[in-house]
Amino acid sequence: MAPAIVTGADRLLNLIDTKGELPLANAAKHLNIPKDVLDGLCDTLETEGLIDTTYTLTDRVLISKDAKHNTARHLKTFKRQLKAITGDKRAVAQEDQLKRKEQEINKKLDALQGQLKDLKRHERRKEAADEQERHLKEHEAGLKKLEKQLAEKADVLAKEQALLAKRLIDLASRESKIAKARRQLRKREEVAQAWEEHLAETIKSIQERLETMEKHKHAVIKKRVKLAKDEEQLWSLVRSLFTEGHARAHQKK
C-alpha cells in the first residue's frame, strides 16, 4: 500500500490542533516554511473553515477550531475530578466558578471571533483601499504622461503657430508688393493709354495735314498745269507775232 501523502496544510493543521493556538512566526519556524507562504496557506484554511485566526500587535495567532471545545472538555474533566476528590460545598462553589469562567471564556472566544471578523473586514477594506490607491497612482501616472504629451503637443502647436504667423507676414508682404505692382501697372497702363490717345490724335493730325497738303498739292499742280497751258499759248502767240512781223518786214524790202 502506498504511503499517505502529508502536505504542508496537513502538517499545519496537526500542529494547530496539537498546540490549540500559536503565533504564525512560531508555526513557520516549527514547520520550516516561509512566513509569507504560511500566511497565504492560513488564509485558505480559514476560508475553508478549518481554523480561526486573530491578531496581536506583533503577529497573527492561529487558533484550532477545536480549541473552544477542548477548553470546555478540560473544564468538565476537571470538575468531575474535583467532585470525586472533595464532594463538598466548595466543589459546588468551584464548579459554579468554573462555569462562570467557562462562560467568560466562551464570551471572550466569541468576542475574539467578532474581532477577527472585524479585522478581516478591515483587512479587506485595507486591501481594497490599497488597490484603489494603486489604481489612483496608475491613473496619476497616466495623467502625468498625458500631461507631458499635451505639453509636447502644445510646444509643437506653438511652433506651428509661430511658423504660420511668419508665413502670414510673408504673405501679407507679398500681397502688399503685388498691390503696389498692380498700382504701378495701372499707372503705366494709364500712361500708355494717354500716349496711345496722344499718338492717335497725332496720327489724326498728321493725316489731316497730309490730306490738306495733298489737296494743296493737287491745287498747285492744277494751277501749274493751267499756268503751263497759258505760257504755251503765250509763246505760241509770240511766235505767231514774230513770224508775222518778220514776214511784213520782208515784204517791205
Q: What is the pLDDT of residues 185-227, one digit of tens each?
A: 888 888 888 888 888 888 888 888 888 888 888 888 888 788 8
> Is residue 165 one of the residues assigned to a domain?
no
- CATH at 99: 1.10.10.10
Question: Does any domain span residue 138?
Answer: no
pLDDT at 80: 53
pLDDT, one tens digit per residue, over 42-57 is 999 888 888 888 888 7
Over residues 108-136, mean pLDDT: 77
> Is 47 part of a structural domain of the chain?
yes
The answer to whether residue 250 sits within a structural domain is no
Mean pLDDT of the chain: 80
Q: What order do you get walking across the sheet with 51-55 strand by strand?
A: 21-23, 60-64, 51-55
Tell whether 197 is covered by a domain: no
Q: Contact, 9 vs 58, CB < 8 A?
A: no
Stretch 102-107: mean pLDDT, rounded? Answer: 74
What's the grid cell of residue 20?
490549540
Distance between CA atoms of residues 30 and 169, nearest Å: 85
Identify whether 94 is part of a domain. yes
Phi, psi of 131 (to 5 degrees): -65, -40
CB 157 within 8 A of CB 149: no
* pTM score, whole prediction: 0.30
Q: Is residue 14 part of a domain?
A: yes
Kindly report the number of other CB atoms within 10 A of residue 94's CB atom. Answer: 17
Give domain status of residue 229, yes or no.
no
What total of structural domains would you count in the chain? Answer: 1
Mean pLDDT, rounded, for 156-160: 88
**108-118 per-position pLDDT tens digit:** 767 776 777 77
Give the burial class of 233: count Cβ atoms within 10 A of its Cβ; 0-12 exposed, 13-18 middle, 19 or more buried.
exposed
Q: How many CB atoms lie within 10 A of CB 154?
A: 10
Percent of the chain residues past pLDDT 70, beyond the cut: 83
The whole-number pLDDT of residue 119 equals 75
Whole-angstrom distance, CA of residue 51 vs CA of residue 63: 6
Task: Show the domain range for 54.
Answer: 8-116
- For residue range 51-74, list pLDDT tens digits in order: 888 888 788 999 887 655 555 545
Do 78 and 101 form a contact (C-beta atoms < 8 A)?
A: no
pLDDT the model gives residue 82:
56
